[in-house]
């Protein structure tokens, strides 16, 4: 069947024809590609078209699709059983691997999705501090739990408004939404409500409003204010964890801010290697507040699934090899440098940024620092570029507000071909 036929069929039985909204191509227009298989840096759609893949299942496929060591681990685990609802040694091994790679994380709880990890971390922060309010930033996405589906209100440090129908206003009345990288708002929020704030949750390098870094002064101030007011600093590293560096984005900031550590961390994507798996962790004192030790309840039938943990553990073992991230970062930098060069040749304003195997670009003359700036970039040009690249066999994220991902499977030839395609697309 063609992609169009499959999409029409899907829309009869699945809302919007997709099981996650961005897949519907609503932001860019056109027909979604229905993928039948993937290998290495490529995936193929229902019509047999091959694409060089720069979404990587939205981040997990850091080794590329079907890495032999990961496939072997998953196949062996599946032969032993899909799910037990009881503890396994591999859960311990994966927790130990995460703790070994992320200083400051002394214990972790495994769950099945980034949304589950984010909402559980928020509940734990509230339970550990005895406070209800928390801060998030516009443009940061922490999953689709009710309290986290919030947009900014008018004025500084205002309570947010639900971004989804079905979320009662009472549920988000304790959510404060601030502008990313805005020091004035941050200082004001803590000055007026610091004693009531349980935590601040942030994507340190946001991947859900394209690719936007939190500035070093912003993160430094955030750490100082949380410490001063007794709030917990929660790094949402669902995207960035083990993707921008082996120790995640927090290790990048620790090189720039002496002694820096968040209080809690949320992980997903890479630690599952493509399987449904996520985690949240922190100090032993904070994590001891979780049931069965403490009063904060959290549970999950498939948490620590034996096949998912096998996949994640094999992935972490591969990316821990010496030189892995140096090579990945160099390959990613070559891609964004090539895109910028192609844009200059075409006399098109384009800026880009990357860290490790994660990147972003916008059609503008300066890198955006917050969600409002991202949304002011040239969306129409991005949409044209997306389709022109898709026509040339390059699969980018189907929305300007999503980051992109390079894997270890992308070769120098893949990058060169992508840059050449971009040159054509920008002149089309």
Q: Which tens digit of pLDDT belongs to each residue from 114-168?
A: 999 999 999 999 999 999 999 999 999 999 888 888 875 433 334 556 778 888 8
Q: 112 and 60 in one domain? A: no
Q: Is the pLDDT of residue 77 over 80?
A: yes
Structural domain count, the chain: 2
285 given a catalytic annotation: no
> Same domain, yes or no, for 15 and 124?
no
Q: Are 315 and 271 in contact (CB under 8 A)?
A: yes
Does the annotation count 141 as an active-site position? yes
Look at residues 261, 294, 319 and tell me which one is the last residue of a structural domain: 319
Cα 341 from chain centroid (whole Å): 27
Asked if 168 and 305 sit in the same domain, the reply is yes
98 and 130 share one domain: yes
Does 80 lie in the same domain as 16?
no
Q: Which of 292, 319, 346 is the last residue of a domain?
A: 319
**Nearest CA-CA partner of 100 in 280, 247, 268:** 247
Annotated active-site residue in 54, 136, 180, 236: 236
Q: Are 230 and 138 in a shared domain? A: yes
pLDDT for 164 equals: 80
What residues make up the domain containing 388? 3-66+322-427
- Same domain membership, residue 266 and residue 176: yes
Residues counted in the chain: 428
- Pairwise CA distance, residues 43 & 278, whole Å: 24
For residue 104, the model assigns a pLDDT of 85
CATH of the domain at 223: 3.40.640.10
Task: With a cut of 60, say whether residue 20 has pLDDT above it.
Answer: yes
Active site residue 146: no
Residues 94 and 11 grouped into a single domain: no
Computed on alpha carbons and rounded to an integer, the radius of gyration of the chain in Å comes to 21
Question: Is residue 257's pLDDT more than 70?
Answer: yes
Could you say which DSSP state residue 372 is in? H
> For 279-334, how does the pLDDT look when each residue is reduced to its tens digit (9 = 90+)?
999 999 999 999 999 999 999 999 999 999 999 999 999 999 999 999 999 999 99
Which residue in the list 42, 269, 371, 401 is annotated as catalytic? 269
pLDDT of residue 152: 53
Annotated catalytic residue within 54, 141, 395, 401? 141
**Same-domain check for residues 343 and 404:** yes
């Amino acid at each position: 069947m063609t992609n169009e036929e499959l999409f029409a069929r899907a829309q009869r039985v699945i809302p919007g024809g997709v099981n996650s909204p961005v897949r519907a191509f609503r932001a860019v227009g056109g027909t979604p590609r229905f993928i039948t298989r993937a290998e290495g840096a490529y995936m193929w759609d229902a019509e047999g078209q091959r694409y060089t893949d720069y979404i990587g299942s939205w981040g997990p496929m850091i080794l590329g699709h079907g890495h032999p060591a990961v496939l072997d681990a998953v196949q062996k685990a599946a032969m032993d059983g899909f799910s037990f609802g009881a503890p396994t040694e591999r859960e311990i091994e994966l927790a130990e691997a995460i703790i070994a790679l992320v200083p400051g994380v002394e214990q972790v709880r495994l769950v099945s999705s980034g949304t589950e990890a984010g909402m559980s971390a928020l509940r734990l922060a509230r339970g550990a501090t005895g406070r209800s309010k928390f801060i998030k930033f516009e443009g940061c996405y922490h999953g689709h739990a009710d309290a986290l589906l919030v947009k900014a209100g008018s004025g500084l440090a205002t309570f947010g408004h639900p971004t989804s129908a079905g979320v009662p206003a009472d549920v988000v009345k304790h959510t404060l939404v601030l502008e990313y990288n805005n020091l004035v708002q941050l200082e004001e929020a803590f000055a007026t409500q610091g004693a009531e704030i349980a935590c601040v949750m942030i994507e340190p390098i946001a991947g859900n409003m394209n690719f936007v870094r939190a500035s070093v002064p912003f993160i430094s101030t955030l750490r100082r204010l949380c410490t001063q007011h007794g709030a917990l600093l929660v790094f949402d590293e669902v995207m960035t964890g083990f993707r921008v560096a082996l120790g995640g984005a927090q290790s990048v900031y620790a090189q720039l801010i002496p002694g820096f550590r968040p209080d809690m961390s949320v992980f997903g994507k890479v630690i599952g290697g493509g399987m449904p798996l996520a985690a949240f962790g922190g100090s032993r004192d904070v994590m001891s507040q979780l049931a069965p030790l403490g009063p904060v309840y959290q549970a999950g039938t498939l948490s620590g699934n034996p096949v998912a943990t096998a996949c994640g553990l094999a992935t972490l073992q591969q990316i821990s090899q010496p030189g892995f991230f140096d090579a990945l970062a160099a390959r990613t930098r070559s891609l964004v440098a090539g895109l910028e060069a192609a844009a200059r040749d075409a006399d098109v304003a384009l800026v880009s940024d990357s860290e490790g195997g994660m990147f972003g670009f916008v059609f503008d003359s300066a890198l955006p620092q917050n969600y409002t700036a991202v949304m002011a970039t040239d969306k129409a040009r991005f949409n044209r570029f997306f389709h022109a690249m898709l026509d040339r066999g390059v699969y980018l994220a189907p929305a300007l507000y999503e980051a992109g991902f390079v894997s270890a499977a992308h070769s120098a030839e893949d990058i060169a071909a992508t840059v050449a395609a971009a040159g054509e697309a920008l002149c089309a």
